[in-house]
Amino acid sequence: MLSNMPRMGFCGLLISAIIALGISTAANARIDAAQAKLQILNKIDAKTEEIEPIVNKPMNYHELEFHVKRCISSSDDEKEENMVLLEIWEKTLDKRRDKVFYGWMFSSSPAISSMEHPIYDVILLDCES
């Protein structure tokens, strides 16, 4: 395959990689979970707490409001992965709501997609049924 790489070009190589990834992950079980288990670190007092918001049901934590859109558990023989599509809003003193995060978080790699916030860090621990 390497000898054909100049003829395939980048797009061909990218399509091949996507197909290979899809085939290798097709056998893995993907389970839509009912709730997420999140760990919240308060950077001011260095305390952590766990919360368990339910999918499609807003949950308040101090001035933050969590909306779990989807929580997926995926496991294979070697490694378990949890993914959450999460929207986080912050309630301001003047009664506004500002979106501070929207995206996927991964339990195995929290640094890939993290919330940038001056007070809180949020980490996905698990997706639970």
Whether 16 is in a domain gets the answer: no
Where in the sequence is the domain holding 108, given as residue range(s)?
A: 29-128
Percent of the chain with pLDDT over 70: 76
Whether 15 is in a domain gets the answer: no
Question: What pLDDT is recorded for position 123?
Answer: 95
Residue 104, pLDDT > 60, answer yes
Which neighbouring-strand residues pair with 30? 74
Number of domains within the chain: 1
Of the CA atoms within 13 Å of residue 114, those in its CB half-sphere come to 16
CB 33 within 8 A of CB 128: yes
Whether 66 is in a domain gets the answer: yes
103: alpha, beta or left, given left = phi > 0 and alpha = psi -120 to 50?
A: left
Whether 13 is in a domain gets the answer: no
Pairing of the two strands 35-42 and 80-91? unpaired
Question: What pLDDT is recorded for position 80?
Answer: 81
Residue 92, pLDDT > 80, answer yes
Whether 3 is in a domain gets the answer: no
Whether 107 is in a domain gets the answer: yes
| pTM, to two decimals | 0.73
Whether 2 is in a domain gets the answer: no
56: alpha, beta or left, given left = phi > 0 and alpha = psi -120 to 50?
A: left
pLDDT tens-digit profile of 2-22?
444 445 455 555 565 555 555
Whether 120 is in a domain gets the answer: yes
- Cα gap 94→113, rounded to integer Å: 29
